[in-house]
Every structure is written in C-alpha cells, then in structure tokens.
A = this chain, B = another copy of it.
Amino acid sequence: MSGALFIVGLGPADARWLTHEAQETLDAAQDIIGYTPYVARVPERAGQTRLASDNRVEIDRAQEALARAAQGRRVAVVSGGDPGVFAMAAAVFEAVDGGPRAWRDLDIRVLPGVSAMQAAAARLGAPLGHDFCAISLSDNLKPWDVIAKRLEHAAQGDFVIALYNPASRARPTRINDAFALLRRHLPGETFVGFAKSIGRENEKIILTRLDEAEGDKVDMSTLVIIGASGTRRIARDRARDWVYTSRKAT
C-alpha cells in the first residue's frame, strides 16, 4: 500500500499562479477531489477519477479523500488559493483527528499555493508589506462576538486587515457590521480596498476609505483589505493609484 494524500493549492483563478510542485502532483494523481469549481480548473486526464462536491461538505470530502488514500490510492484534494489558509488543509486534519487511528500513519502532504490575499495585494501594490492579519467573516462555525473581538484587537493593534468571506447569501450585510465596528476604532480616511474575482475575466478593484466603504460592493469572491496607519496611497494620473504599507512605524 503506497497511497498518499496531497492537499494542493491551485492559487487564485489564474493557472499562471500554479506552482511547479502543484502541477506535477495534479498530473500524477489518481483521484482529484474538491469543491466543484476548483475541480473544474484541473485539466482532465485519462484514467483520473474526479469527485466534485458542494462547498458545505468539507468534512465529508476530507473523509472520502482519506479513505481512498488508506486504500492505496494517490489522491489530490484541490483548494483555491492556499489550502492552508481558510481552506481544505484544516478540514483534512480535523477529519484525521476524529477518524480511525490508522489515518495517522498516512502520507499526507500540504502543497502551498498563492492565497487570494496575496494575489489581491499584488494587484493593489504592497498593502501587506508590514504586520497584517487575516480574518474570516464567516459565522458558520464561530459566533459574531468572536469575530468582533478579533476585529477590535486587529484595529487596536494597528494591523493591516485582510477579510475573507465578507459576504454570503445567508449574511450579505455582515461586512457592514465589520465596517461599523472598525469605524469606532480607526480614522475615516483609513484605506479600504475591494478586490473581486482576482485573476478572472471579471476582475474588479475598488479603492476607497473606511468612512465611504459600502458593503454592497462585496460578494463571495471579494477579498477586502483595510489599511493600517502606515498604509499609503500613491496618486497616479494615468492609472489606478498604488497602495503600500510602509515598513516604518508611524
């Protein structure tokens, strides 16, 4: 039995952000398992099994992948961005933690990828150039008061903040609650950027400020970046302004 489970980061949308390691692993896998749009991004190969499933069944998907690896198959679980950042890697290890003892002897490897946050930052300039944090606004698995506490400490600690999952069908206005909370701690001119569908045809970037930020600009494919005191905007005449966070304390 020489099964193995690879948890592969596809990067955000554009195949040019795939690493060599991820490419080789996808080419050699027997089973490709993941959320439907991510599986669709992997070119089909003869002899490869493809198991696409809904976004809400992460643990089921992880268990299926582990069971197949335990049967000796070479399985690739695919994730958009980096599987280690708000994605499938934690779900797989959670399944191992609660699963049969034999799963702990499996060969499981996480293959990092470019995260949505990094791709968004690259398009803007260098907003994550100094101390930053990443917070998921999804309250599927944690209550709002935990999220609110993290937002408060992030603001008080003067971190650049990257917000994942700022909106969903179940809670489209959650981002407005976050903006309202942050306005109590941060100046109105604090930089806010919306990066939507980075690397896709409908990519859209909006630069604004906290006192003018409107939550109706976000959807499930939007990453929101909120600046710190060291975040600067470089005015440009012929193109979108650049944004960076100075490495110097202010």
Binding site for B on A (CB under 8 A): 11, 14-21, 23-24, 82-87, 89-94, 96-97, 104-105, 108-115, 118-119, 121-123, 125-136, 141-143, 146, 149-150, 152-154, 156-159, 232, 234-239, 242, 244-249
Docked complex Cα distance between A238 and B243 (Å): 48
- Beyond the given pairs A16-B19, A146-B158, A153-B154, 20 more chain A to chain B contacts, judged by CB atoms under 8 angstroms and listed by A's residue number, are A19-B114, A20-B23, A84-B122, A86-B130, A89-B122, A89-B129, A90-B129, A92-B126, A93-B129, A93-B242, A96-B242, A104-B235, A104-B236, A104-B242, A112-B114, A112-B118, A131-B150, A132-B134, A133-B154, A142-B247
Chain copies in complex: 2
Docked complex Cα distance between A8 and B146 (Å): 36
Of all chain B residues, the one with the shortest Cβ separation from A21 is: B16
**A239 shortest CB reach to chain B, Å:** 8
**A157 shortest CB reach to chain B, Å:** 3
Of all chain B residues, the one with the shortest Cβ separation from A228 is: B150
The answer to whether B89 touches A125 (Cβ under 8 A) is yes
Report if A93-B125 is in contact (Cβ < 8 Å); known contacts: A133-B132, A152-B157, A157-B149.
yes
Q: Which of A91, A118, A234 has the most CB of B within 10 A?
A: A118
Docked complex Cα distance between A222 and B105 (Å): 27
The answer to whether A84 touches B136 (Cβ under 8 A) is no
The answer to whether A90 touches B21 (Cβ under 8 A) is no
